[in-house]
Amino acid sequence: MIDPGSFYIMDRGYIDFDRLFHIHQSQGFFVIRAKSNLSFKRRYSHSLDKSTGVRCDQTIMLAAAKSAKEYPDKMRRIKFTDTETGKHYVFLTNNFTLSAQVIAELYKCRWQVELFFKWIKQHLRIKVFYGTSENAVKTQIWTAISVYVLIALVKKRMNLDITLYTFLQILSVSVFEKVDIFQLVTNSAGINEDTYISNQLNLFDL
């Protein structure tokens, strides 16, 4: 179900013009990275301020037969250069109201969602959701976050000289033991701290 007026922001790996047209017909908006081999016809070029990083703002129609059949309406193509890295990116959207710079910023905001789920995978021990409803998922995530925050408070108040991740590891294997926390940490002083080596790229390195 598409919520009218909502924005659906996706990476180029999710390009499906039939699905994008469904979002468009349902009065939703999408922002998605375009593939380098996109075949299109330019209908109009909009005025722009290149100092914002926007290099082109066009109204286009898809040219490939299959794509044009799946998305027969006009689309907006925005080319943007990240002023910090100098890298170029191309976005597709069906929103013609917001400025090109705002469209690029919307895609950048998507990265915060990626970072949030990355943080969940690294810090919260959620291996499976025991329920799939919205309420069940939210309840399990909030419970895990609450436990994480409580353990962080304990570590801070006891001035433990170990990382929070290590402290979580120690407690996870000793959850049913009635042992003083200081003694528990001392006995586990030789534990190897895992270092996360993430292959997650920075925004606009995708």
pLDDT tens per residue, range 14-49: 899 999 999 999 999 999 999 989 999 999 999 888
Give the per-residue pLDDT at 178.
Answer: 76
Q: Residues 134, 99: one domain?
A: no
pLDDT tens figures, 38-79: 999 999 999 888 888 899 999 999 999 999 999 999 999 999
12 and 49 housed in the same domain: yes
So what's the pLDDT on residue 206? 44
Q: Residue 192 above 60 pLDDT? A: no
What pLDDT shows up at residue 201? 46
Residue 181 in this model has a pLDDT that exceeds 90: no
**Does residue 199 sit within a domain?**
no
pLDDT for 119-136, tens place per residue? 887 777 777 788 888 899
Sequential DSSP letters for the chain: -PPTT-EEEE-GGG--HHHHHHHHHTT-EEEEEPPTT--EEEEEE----GGGTEEEEEEEEE-SHHHHHH--S-EEEEEEE-TTT--EEEEEES--SS-HHHHHHHHHHHHHHHHHHHHHHHHS---S-S--SHHHHHHHHHHHHHHHHHHHHHHHHTT-SS-HHHHHHHHHTSTT----HHHHHHHTTTPPPP-----PPPTT--
How many domains does the chain divide into?
Answer: 2
The mean pLDDT value of the chain amounts to 84
As a whole number of angstroms, the distance between CA 16 and CA 30 comes to: 12
In a domain, 84, yes or no: yes
In a domain, 1, yes or no: no
For range 82-110, the mean pLDDT = 90
The answer, as to whether pTM is greater than 0.85, is: no
pLDDT at 200: 46
Whether 106 and 30 share a structural domain: yes
pLDDT above 70 coverage of the chain, percent: 89
51 belongs to a structural domain: yes
